[in-house]
Amino acid sequence: MKKLWSGRFEKDVDGAVNAFNSSIAFDSRLFREDIAGSIAHAAALGHCGIIGADEAEKIIGGLERILEDIENGAVTFSEDAEDIHMNIETLLTERLGETGKRLHTARSRNDQVALDFRLYCVKSCREIAELLLGFQRVLLKLAEPHLETIMPGYTHLQRAQPITLAHHLMAWCEMLSRDVTRFEDALRRMDEMPLGACALAGTTYPLDRRYAAEKLGFSDVTANSLDSVSDRDFALESLAALSIVMTHLSRMSEEIILWCSTEFGFAALDDAYSTGSSIMPQKKNPDVAELTRGKTGRVYGSLMSLLTVMKALPLAYNKDMQEDKEAVFDAFDTVKLCLGVFPPMVETLTFHPETMLNAASKGFLNATDAADYLVKKGMPFRDAYTAVGKLVAYCVKNKTTLERLDLNTLQEVSPFFDEGYYGAVDLKTCAAGRKTEGGPAPEAVIKHMEKIRKFIGERT
């Protein structure tokens, strides 16, 4: 097959080089974006009188038929045509003859690929954001019946203070809110159309770039032709946002794995989201959570790969940038895969409130509340802290808990203690008393849930 750019060359490209140079094996997935961009470009060419209106209509019709044929499986892409852009242009020329050759007027593959790839990232970022909102809905539903389910809150993986399961689940929800807004921020910066920048220096044709931008749904056009074809920030931002999503899913995975262990026993996985062992019949393994945790490294690798590709490239386009797509495609595919199975796994968890409460009853999680009790009686906090520390040491030595200490023992440490102490250090009281915005008290969590519902509602 004769290359479209073969006029300058006297020899055919070596077969190995042709295979090395070709990207059709992976960029074929951009066929919808490529055809959408070509349709908008053809419309702009006709609108501006660069080609005849009848030719623009023929090109648009031809592209629409090619799209239909590709979707119906009637097109086989050729490696000789290198990439999706050349494949579609070759098909169009075969079908329309001279008219098809006019499509590439006032356009380069450089601005064409920049457009296609940007359109793909825009579409995919929106899809991920929708999946994240769906996961938030799952967490809201899961949290509702657990506003008063006491569990330990941890620091350093050591039991620290009593919280509620709803409060913990809503912490996951808050991570997802930030993820959604990161994609929204990235989408705002992606909302510029690079088409019309051509190879690097724009065009001498009277092309109305804003006309094409409007056709494609962009609110603006890129401001500098050099930057337009060499920018891959939108891909890097997508990968960064995807990496942080995976960070959050990995942290959730770790907690689910711990919670479902015999040592914790806070929850149990549904059989549909577990696997067994080939040799140990008792096993119920958290493979979904473990695989999600493992795939996090894969997405991080995609980000590091593209950062490394871009770090020393002079303006404008360089062939190195062909390496951008596989990393981005794989990262989006991986995160979509995880968000397809992770939320239903979480939704079908069975929680064990009694085990959680029992765990919260050990480890002196109400120590801070005991100190706060003394402070409210008039003792300086540092003195109260020391007094309760002495009580904890006594409890450890005598194998008891703060709430079981008799009043005489308490008053030996401080005369501020009285009968009101026992209500103050009850675990439910400890959690319910933290009513400040963002705290674990049921009314505070309900307000947080309302905030998340509003957040989702504004985006649906």
pLDDT tens per residue, range 55-114: 999 999 999 999 999 999 999 999 888 899 999 999 999 999 999 999 999 999 999 999
110-145+181-358 and 359-457: identical CATH topology: no
247: Cβ contacts below 8 Å, ≥ 6 apart:
296
Output the pLDDT for position 321.
Answer: 95
In the residue annotation, 167 being an active-site residue is answered as no
Mean pLDDT of 9-14: 64
Identify the active-site residue in 156, 225, 261, 302: 156
R_g of the chain computed on alpha carbons: 30
Query: Which pTM was predicted?
Result: 0.93
CA atoms within 13 A on the CB side of 24: 16
Residue 64's pLDDT is 98
Query: CB pairs under 8 A, 24+ apart, for 154-161?
Result: 158/363, 159/359, 159/360, 159/362, 159/363, 159/365, 160/365, 161/365, 161/366, 161/368, 161/430
Q: Which residues contact 97 (CB under 8 A, 6 or more apart)?
A: none
The helix-helix angle for 287-310 and 324-347 (nearest 10°) equals 160
What are the φ/ψ torsions at residue 217 (nearest 5 degrees)? Answer: 90, 15
Q: To the nearest whole percent, how much of the chain has pLDDT over 90?
A: 91
Q: Helices (H), strands (E): how many in the chain?
A: 20, 6
DSSP 8-state symbol, 436: S
pLDDT tops 60 at residue 6: no
**At the fourth CATH level, which superfamily is domain 6-105?**
Fumarase/aspartase (N-terminal domain) (1.10.275.10)
Contact 139, 172 (CB under 8 A): yes
In 3-state terms, what secondary structure has residue 267?
A: strand
CA terminus-to-terminus distance, the chain: 49
248 an active-site residue? Answer: no
Closest to 246 in 3D by CA, of 149, 179, 311, 340: 179
**Residue 125 pLDDT > 80, yes or no?**
yes
pLDDT of residue 334: 98
d(C-alpha 231, C-alpha 225), whole Å: 10
Q: Please tell us whether the domain made up of 110-145+181-358 is placed in CATH 3.20.20.70.
A: no
Q: Looking up tokens 């409210």, which residue turns up?
A: 376
DSSP letter at 439? S
Which residues does residue 5 pair with via DSSP β-bridges, in sequence order?
Answer: none
Residue 282 has pLDDT above 60, yes or no: yes
Largest CA distance in the chain: 102
Class of domain 359-457: mainly alpha
pLDDT classification of 145: cutoffs 50, 70, 90: very high
Position 324 pLDDT exceeds 80? yes
Q: pLDDT band for 280, please (50, 70, 90 cuts).
A: confident
Q: What is the identity of the amino acid at 405?
A: L
Predicted local distance difference test score (pLDDT) of residue 281: 78
Give me the pLDDT at residue 283, please. Answer: 83
Q: Which of 6, 219, 261, 277 is catalytic?
A: 277
**Domain ranges for the chain:** 6-105, 110-145+181-358, 359-457
Distance, CA of 289 to CA of 342 (rounded, Å): 7
SS3 78: coil
Q: How far is CA 106 from CA 44, 235, 317, 369, 389, in A?
A: 10, 25, 17, 72, 77
Mean pLDDT of the chain: 95
The helix/strand/coil state of 296 is: helix
Segment 190-215, tens digit of pLDDT: 999 999 999 999 999 999 999 999 99
- Residue 82's SS3 state is coil
Q: Are the beta carbons of 141 and 81 closer than 8 angstroms?
A: no
